[in-house]
Structure 1
Amino acid sequence: MPYNCRHCGGTYCSEHRLPENHDCTSLNNWNDPQGVFDSGFDDGVESGGRSGNTSLLDKLPIDTGPGGPLGYFRGNATYTFLALMWITFLCQWIALFVGGQALHGALFTLSTAHPEYVWTWVTSVFAHDPGGITHLVFNSIVVFFFGPLVERYVGSKNFAILFVVSGALAGLGQVAISAAQGVPTSVLGASGAALAIMGVLTVLNPNLKVYLYFILPVPIWVLTIGTALISVVYIGTGGGGPIAHGAHLVGLLIGLGYGEYIRRTRNVRTPDQFQLGGGGPGGPGGPGGRRRF
Structure 2
Amino acid sequence: MAKCDVCGKDESMPYNCRHCGGTFCADHRLPENHDCTGLQDWNDPQGVFDSGFDESVNGGGGTSKASSLADKIPINTGAGGPLAYFRGNMTYTFLALILLTFLAQLVVELFGSRSLYESLFLLTSWNVEYVWTWVTSIFSHSTNNLMHIVGNSIVIFFFGPLVERYVGSRDFAILFVVSGVLAGLSQVAISVIQGYPTAVLGASGAALAILGVLTVLNPDLKVYLYFILPVPIWLLTAGYALISITFLSGVIGGGGGIAHGAHLVGLVIGLAYGQYIKQNRNVSAPNRLEFGGGGGPGGPGGRRRF
The two structures have a TM-score, normalised by structure 1, of 0.85
Distance 2:37 2:255 in 1: 44
**Distance change in 2, residues 1:128/1:240 (3 Å):** same
* Higher alpha-carbon Rg: 2
- CA deviation after TM superposition for structure 1 residue 38, in Å: 2.0
Deviations 1:98-131 (A, max 9, x none): 2232211111000111111111100000000011
In the other structure, the counterpart of 1:5 is: 4
In the other structure, the counterpart of 1:19 is: 25
**Distance change in 2, residues 1:71/1:109 (3 Å):** same
Number of residue pairs aligned between Structure 1 and Structure 2: 274
1:261 matched to 2:260: no
- CA deviation after TM superposition for structure 1 residue 50, in Å: 11
The SS at the match of 2:304 is: strand
Range 120-129 or range 237-246, more displaced:
237-246
**Distance change in 2, residues 1:204/1:8 (3 Å):** same
Aligned pairs for 1:70-219 (under 5 A) are 70-219=83-232
Moved over 4 A (4+): 48-52, 56-59
Distance 1:167 1:261 in 2: 19
Distance 2:153 2:269 in 1: 20
**Distance change in 2, residues 1:186/1:266 (3 Å):** same
Range 225-234 or range 136-145, more displaced:
225-234
- C-alpha contact (below 8 Å) 1:43/1:75 kept by paired residues: no
Deviations 1:57-89 (A, max 9, x none): 566443211101211110010001101101000
Unaligned ranges ≥5, structure 2: 16-22, 41-62
- C-alpha contact (below 8 Å) 2:123/2:134 kept by paired residues: yes
1:239 matched to 2:238: no
In the other structure, the counterpart of 1:278 is: 293
Aligned residue identity for 2:221: L
**Distance change in 2, residues 1:138/1:9 (3 Å):** farther
Aligned residue identity for 1:140: S
Aligned residue identity for 1:11: E
Aligned residue identity for 1:251: G
Q: CA RMSD in A?
A: 2.8
- Identity rate of aligned residues, in percent? 60
- CA deviation after TM superposition for structure 1 residue 241, in Å: 2.9
Distance 2:65 2:242 in 1: 51
Distance 2:219 2:37 in 1: 31
Distance 2:183 2:70 in 1: 28
Distance 1:90 1:278 in 2: 22
Aligned pairs for 1:215-234 (under 5 A) are 215-234=228-247
**Distance change in 2, residues 1:219/1:57 (3 Å):** farther
Deviations 1:229-256 (A, max 9, x none): 2111111116323111000001001111
Distance 1:50 1:278 in 2: 50
- CA deviation after TM superposition for structure 1 residue 13, in Å: 2.1
Distance 1:58 1:170 in 2: 37
Counterpart selection for 1:37 from 33, 39, 53: 33
**Distance change in 2, residues 1:203/1:225 (3 Å):** same
Distance 2:71 2:201 in 1: 31
The two structures have a TM-score, normalised by structure 2, of 0.81
Unaligned ranges ≥5, structure 1: none
**Distance change in 2, residues 1:260/1:180 (3 Å):** same
- C-alpha contact (below 8 Å) 1:242/1:283 kept by paired residues: no
